[in-house]
Structure 1
């Protein structure tokens, strides 16, 4: 009944163009009813079912991962050649640098550990002349790369000859018994002091050439053994 009454009132309102209307039914008056009129588009929008809001999904948070500690290890710098050996020089004689009783060889360095055998006595010094791969300078006492003077020890004498860089070298040795800084020679330039060369090449009427005495030294260094002989030993055929 109420629905019918409401419909009648709405129709009255529409007919009269009023937003309010009064109705009487079976002699009974009903209270004022306010009617709000909407156009078709508004009614369609109002009646359209509302889409529920999408749930807000929080952004995934990556689990906290503690990065492993990384040691800042830098590779060792490449070696610089030629090495500066000047702080080790004891003196410079006629343009040739000299080291007297050098320090022991360093590991993993292009150093030459030398053992001298057949040292007759402990007088004076064992002299080692270092020659590079320039064959024209071989056995030229004024063209020596580096000279070592090691205190002589009877039997065997040990010392280190530091090299400016890895490479090919040759070494000439003599025993400077009287410590006069010379390789003493007598008549016909026959040596008066004991001598030897790297690789222990055979001696004859002339000294061995560079190719017979040359050897190669790597970056980690190497060891050689040189035997001393006298001119008399060579004449007797002990060193041929």
Structure 2
């Protein structure tokens, strides 16, 4: 495979390893270095597909320090791929800062299409998907209520990420702001064995999850006003 760009943003499966694309595999096999959010997690993926390339750690805690050096290496001719633990880089994961720096320095970048959790959750929700707003993770503490209040009159379908241990609390906060009868869905473990999507009013979904021990990555989709 001939690489025309310097930096490739390569989506990785969010659960089922068969969801990786042929182009993603060829790209990962062709670059000089793979930038990984967690080298241990990515190491398992690469070993599964027999990809043997140097891994360099690139995550939220070191990206500010590494951006300039990585950009310099790219300008000197290195071909790199950026991957996150799951899904598309820069979508609630590191990547934005590096892309911005590459654009600033006229370094050619390319983002491959591929897996991301919020798209199947949105489509599977049965809520309008022609216009939507992706909010990702809300602030955990400071600014959370202010953000929710700013969405009170939102007419588009809203999509959020949430951790399993905060799910019920988050649904309760949504019910307070949007009303308990607002239609919503909760998808978890997307593409995995125990994948499920629960649809209904916020009140109904809160009751469903109230007594359950929730595991897995969570996508919450809420109807607009």
- Give the TM-score range, shorter chain: under 0.3
Higher-RCO chain (CA-CA 8 Å, sequence separation at least 6): 2
Q: TM-score, length-normalised on structure 1?
A: 0.19
Q: Which protein has the bigger helix share?
A: 2
What TM-score do the two structures reach when normalised by structure 2? 0.20
Q: Higher Cα Rg: structure 1 or 2?
A: 1
